[in-house]
Structure 1
Amino acid sequence: MEIKGIAWLGSRTKNYDEMVAFCSEKLDLKQVLSKEDMAVFLMPNGDVFEIMAPHIDASQPELGQMECPKAEFLVEDVHQARQDMEALGIEFVGPVYVAEKHAWTNFRAPDGHLYGLTDDRLPGLRGDEAKIIPINFGQSIRN
């Protein structure tokens, strides 16, 4: 298994509206998805920052265990990387989630916090190649 980078950072917060406004207005981040309980921002290099409202954990129960921002490490194959890490005794929380063109899973590190693995950032959303991609949340991501 090879870690290629940190592709995703997520924060679950009770100050959801304030954080979305902060990222949009103060940090001038490019918002590519907006829902009542989730906002996704795309960085110029393809990295993703996601803000989640506290009640979003209903769809992924382990999100209720996010006590601080959570990073996801980019790997070639989430399923294989998870197998490799489980063989080393690393505790995973929840299943491997599979969207249309990427997958992710969560694990607990020695600091007690959740981290994740992902096998792509947001496919097709790198730099000038950004385009509309349907995802499982019932909305599309736009450039």
Structure 2
Amino acid sequence: MSTDGVHGLGFLGVRIEDRERFRAAVALHRDTLGLAVVRDEPDRLVWFRLRDGTELHVYGPEDVDHVAFGDRPCVGLVVDDVEGTRHRMEAEGVEFLWDTQRDGDRVWAHYRGPDGTVYELIGPTVG
């Protein structure tokens, strides 16, 4: 399978169950690194945007939607065609966790890598 369609990283997410560690991670990214906050729901999630547009999502103990991440970061790979890439990967036996999701002009799909880590394909709406 070719990886020609992977352009870079478009997303990094991490879920932190411990409330104090979550708050410390948020403070590090917001206060020490000065990342721009684009969404903040106390003890549930804080989304940051880097200058190149990449998003960093930190999910806390009140978040129940990203429990599948476990204690590992979820990396989003930017591709031209999420559905096409997903179909090729599924044909190779890769397990996708949920249906492909859409929000305006973005599409994404989460899969579990051979190491057990959850990854994400992310890209533009095609067609």
TMscore range, shorter length:
0.7 to 0.9
In the other structure, the counterpart of 1:4 is 7
Q: Residue type matched to 2:75 in 1?
A: A
In the other structure, the counterpart of 2:69 is 66
SS in 1 for 2:97: strand
In the other structure, the counterpart of 1:134 is none
C-alpha deviations, 1:72-120, integer Å up to 9, x for none? Answer: 1001121121111111211111111111221111111111111111115
Q: Which runs of 5+ in 1 are unaligned?
A: 121-143
SS in 1 for 2:34: coil
In the other structure, the counterpart of 2:50 is 43
In the other structure, the counterpart of 2:106 is 102
SS in 2 for 1:20: helix
Q: Residue type matched to 1:33 in 2?
A: R
- 1:53 equivalent to 2:60? Answer yes
Counterpart CA distance in 1 for 2:94 and 2:123 is: 18
Q: Which runs of 5+ in 2 are unaligned?
A: none
Identity of aligned residues (%): 26
Matches within 5 A, 1:1-143: 2-13=5-16, 14=18, 15-36=21-42, 37-57=44-64, 60=65, 63-67=66-70, 68-120=72-124
Q: Cα distance, 1:16 vs. partner?
A: 2.1
